[in-house]
């Protein structure tokens, strides 16, 4: 994976990346607030040889001896003996171990200087402990280094250079350093979380991936929108919104693929439930009606019909009513609130949907209505659970598959295309739904002067269930329609 691919993963999963980043910072802030404020005091000790001879060789040996002692004195400074001496001299309530745990000793390489730093919640107490520890350490070294002959001086001695020096401010907690470290860690953890999520989530993530899997182009890229719902025909909203403009582009692209072949009957399906095929049917029909195309929506999803609910129409009389002879074909068609759009809802649900859709009555019904509509959109069930869409595709001029971003898996989309291929269906393209704004054709901004129109403009009146066949009108081919 290159940098571009990683950035694409982070962009697709920006919510989890930002959440991990913010959570890491919050945990760091909580830890900083709960950490007590501490101050430091540092005392510096000088280790030197007491060989007073003028011999250069002896002086050099004494210098080496001092450097060697410094290395071992670091551990001696934090021994319990020093801790006990500090407790006794200052009358502290802590144990020697607790006192020495606050002391950190460092020695510079090839140096005879020893630095001891004491951290405590009180700056005055830190200074007192540092000075007391330095005095105790000086006495301890003199006692250890004292030769058996008391008349001779110790070979090595320690001297405190100056009293303990306090730090200019608190040394803990270190807000800036901690937050910077937490920010870097949060960023890396967020990227890692996005990568792991992308690794385990193998749903279709882009238009390009969907086109490669299906082997057909995406005729429409519908941006993600909270207004797009199967319970609401989005076309009733702002006519200049990016979602509606995307459906207009779908309508135009559909006209281009219909240049050499008339495609009046189109099946709209999906791989699995929940991809938004009914919404796509309703909105495509709406923009087609706006362009002056006389459009018919047929709800052929005889298992879970949604068109009637989406358009607030009657569902008791519809496709199955006409197929079983309960009403005439034109008596099963209703008008919608959208201009030039009529609807044949599902009607009562049958026990044998596939048989009804493959029947001669279904073929005859489609032939009867074809001459009076410019575009017939058939909403059919998903392809993976049932074969109804493949059956309906044999009666139509083309099939469009709705593919929802980050929802359907590649193998499910591939199965759908394979099912249609076995049925010799003409798959004209995809409708890529709920696309992220970063997808091509989904993030364009649309600027136009909005012409004022009266609020509450009435649409066509509903057709009665027993209405006879409308008068014929001149046939108009979708391929010749302009946007």
Residue 75 has pLDDT above 90, yes or no: no
Q: What is the pLDDT of residue 438?
A: 57
DSSP H or E run through 2: none
Rounded Cα–Cα distance for residues 99 and 176 (Å): 28
Residue 420 and residue 428 in contact, taking contact as beta carbons nearer than 8 Å: no
Per-residue model confidence (pLDDT) at position 457? 34
Residue of higher predicted confidence among 116 and 7: 116
CA–CA separation, 111 and 46 (whole Å): 9
- Residues of the chain above pLDDT 90, percent: 58
In this predicted structure, what is the pLDDT of residue 233? Answer: 53
The answer on pLDDT for 436 being more than 90 is no
What pLDDT does 152 receive? Answer: 77
Distance CA 338, CA 315 (A): 18
- Using CA atoms, how far apart are residues 415 and 479, in angstroms rounded to an integer? 30
CA–CA dist 39, 175 (Å, integer) = 14
The mean-pLDDT minimum among 184-198, 276-290, 434-448 falls in: 434-448
Choose the weakest-confidence range: 252-261, 333-342, 465-474.
465-474
Q: 288 or 438: which carries more pLDDT confidence?
A: 288
pLDDT category, 40, cuts 50, 70, 90?
very high
Please tell me which residue, 335 or 11, carries the higher pLDDT value. Answer: 335
Using an 8 Å Cβ cutoff, are 146 and 154 in contact?
Answer: yes
- Give dist(CA 466, CA 369) in Å, integer: 16
The per-residue b/e assignment along 444-474, b for 16 or more CB within 10 angstroms, e otherwise, is eeeeeeeeeeeeeeeeeeebebeeeeeeeee
* Structure tokens belonging to residue 294: 């006389």
Helix (H, G, I), strand (E, B) or coil at 116: strand
What is the band of 351 on the pLDDT scale with cuts at 50, 70, 90? Answer: very high
3-state secondary structure of 343: strand
Tokens of 213: 């899997």
Q: Average pLDDT of 446-463?
A: 34
The neighbour count for residue 386, using CB atoms within 10 Å, is 17
Peptide bond into 173 cis (omega under 30): yes
Q: Do you know the residue count of the chain?
A: 483
Q: Give the tens place of pLDDT for each residue, 220-233.
A: 999 987 655 444 55
pLDDT value for 4: 75
The reported pLDDT for the residue numbered 11 is 80
SS3 category, 85 = helix
CA dist., res. 114 & res. 46, Å (int): 6
Q: What is the arithmetic mean of pLDDT over 288-304?
A: 96
What is the C-alpha to C-alpha distance for residues 233 and 341, in angstroms, rounded to an integer?
12
Neighbours of 115 (CB within 10 A): 17
pLDDT of residue 153: 75
With a cut of 50, say whether residue 471 has pLDDT above it.
no
Q: Please report the pLDDT score of residue 461 as a whole number.
A: 30
Weakest-pLDDT range from 43-57, 143-157, 360-374, 375-389: 43-57
Higher-pLDDT residue of 220, 456: 220
Q: Which two tokens stand for residue 404?
A: 């929802």
Condensed to tens digits (0 to 9), the pLDDT of residues 401-417 reads 999 998 999 999 999 99
Cα separation of 62 and 85, whole Å?
A: 29
Contact criterion met (CB below 8 Å) for 320 and 302: yes
Residue 22 has pLDDT above 50, yes or no: yes
Give the three-class secondary structure for 24.
helix
Of all helices (H) and strands (E), which one includes residue 261? none
Cβ-contact 337, 292 below 8 angstroms:
no
pLDDT at 446: 35
What secondary structure, in 3-state letters, does 221-238 show? Answer: EEECCCCCECCECHHHCC
pLDDT, tens digit, for every residue of 137-158? 898 888 887 877 777 777 778 8
Highest mean pLDDT among 68-77, 249-258, 288-297, 454-463 belongs to: 288-297
Q: Is the pLDDT of residue 126 over 60?
A: yes
Q: Indicate whether this model's pTM tops 0.75.
A: no
Q: How confident is the model at residue 58 (pLDDT cuts 50, 70, 90)?
A: very low
Lowest-confidence pick of 20-24, 61-65, 306-310? 61-65
Mean pLDDT of 386-395: 94
Domains in the chain with CATH codes: 3-35+174-199 (no CATH), 39-166 (3.30.70.1130), 204-480 (3.40.50.300)
pLDDT of residue 50: 66
Token representation of residue 432: 């890529």
Q: pLDDT confidence of 110, banded at 50, 70, 90?
A: low
* Mean pLDDT estimate for the chain: 83
Flag whether pLDDT at 206 surpasses 70. yes
What whole-number distance in Å separates Cα of residue 431 and Cα of residue 205? 14
pLDDT-based confidence at residue 5 (cuts at 50, 70, 90):
confident
């Amino acid at each position: 994976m290159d940098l571009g691919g990683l950035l694409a993963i982070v962009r697709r999963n920006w919510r989890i990346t930002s959440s991990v980043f913010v959570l890491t910072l919050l945990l760091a802030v909580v830890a900083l607030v709960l950490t007590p404020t501490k101050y430091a005091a540092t005392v510096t000790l000088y280790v030197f040889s007491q060989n007073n001879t003028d011999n250069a060789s002896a002086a050099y040996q004494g210098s080496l001896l001092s450097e060697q002692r410094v290395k071992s004195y670091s551990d001696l400074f934090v021994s319990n003996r020093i801790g006990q001496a500090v407790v006794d001299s200052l009358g502290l309530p802590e144990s020697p171990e607790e006192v020495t745990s606050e002391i950190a000793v460092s020695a510079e390489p090839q140096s005879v200087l020893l630095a001891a730093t004491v951290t405590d919640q009180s700056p005055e107490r830190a200074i007192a402990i540092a000075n007391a520890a330095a005095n105790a350490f000086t006495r301890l070294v003199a006692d250890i280094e004292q030769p058996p002959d008391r008349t001779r001086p110790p070979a090595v001695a320690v001297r405190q250079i100056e009293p303990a020096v306090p730090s200019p401010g608190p040394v803990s907690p270190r807000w800036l350093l901690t937050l910077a470290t937490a920010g870097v860690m949060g960023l890396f953890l967020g990227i890692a979380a996005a990568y792991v999520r992308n690794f385990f989530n193998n749903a279709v993530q882009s238009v390009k991936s969907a086109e490669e899997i299906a082997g057909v182009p995406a005729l429409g890229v519908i941006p993600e929108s909270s207004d797009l719902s199967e319970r609401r025909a989005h076309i009733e909203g702002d006519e200049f919104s990016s979602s509606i403009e995307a459906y207009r582009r779908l309508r135009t692209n559909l006209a281009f693929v219909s240049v050499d072949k008339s495609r009046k009957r189109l099946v709209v399906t999906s791989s699995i439930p929940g991809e938004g095929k009914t919404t796509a049917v309703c909105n495509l029909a709406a923009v087609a009606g706006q362009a002056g195309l006389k459009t018919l929506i047929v709800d052929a999803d005889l298992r879970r019909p949604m068109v009637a609910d989406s358009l607030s129409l009657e569902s008791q009389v519809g496709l199955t009513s006409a197929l079983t002879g309960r009403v005439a074909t034109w008596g099963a068609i209703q008008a919608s609130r959208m201009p030039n759009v009529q609807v044949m809802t599902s009607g009562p649900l049958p026990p044998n949907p596939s048989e009804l859709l493959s029947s001669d009555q279904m073929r005859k019904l489609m032939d009867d209505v074809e001459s009076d509509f410019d575009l017939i959109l058939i909403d059919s069930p998903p392809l993976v659970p049932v074969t109804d869409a493949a059956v309906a595709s044999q009666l139509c001029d083309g099939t469009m598959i709705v593919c929802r971003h980050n929802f359907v898996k590649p193998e499910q989309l591939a199965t759908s295309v394979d099912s249609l291929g076995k049925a010799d269906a003409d798959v004209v393209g995809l409708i890529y739904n709920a696309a992220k704004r970063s997808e091509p054709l989904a993030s364009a901004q649309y600027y136009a002067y909005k012409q004022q129109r009266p609020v509450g403009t009435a649409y066509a009146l509903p057709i009665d269930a027993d209405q006879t066949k409308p008068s014929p009108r001149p046939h108009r081919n979708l391929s010749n329609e302009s946007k």
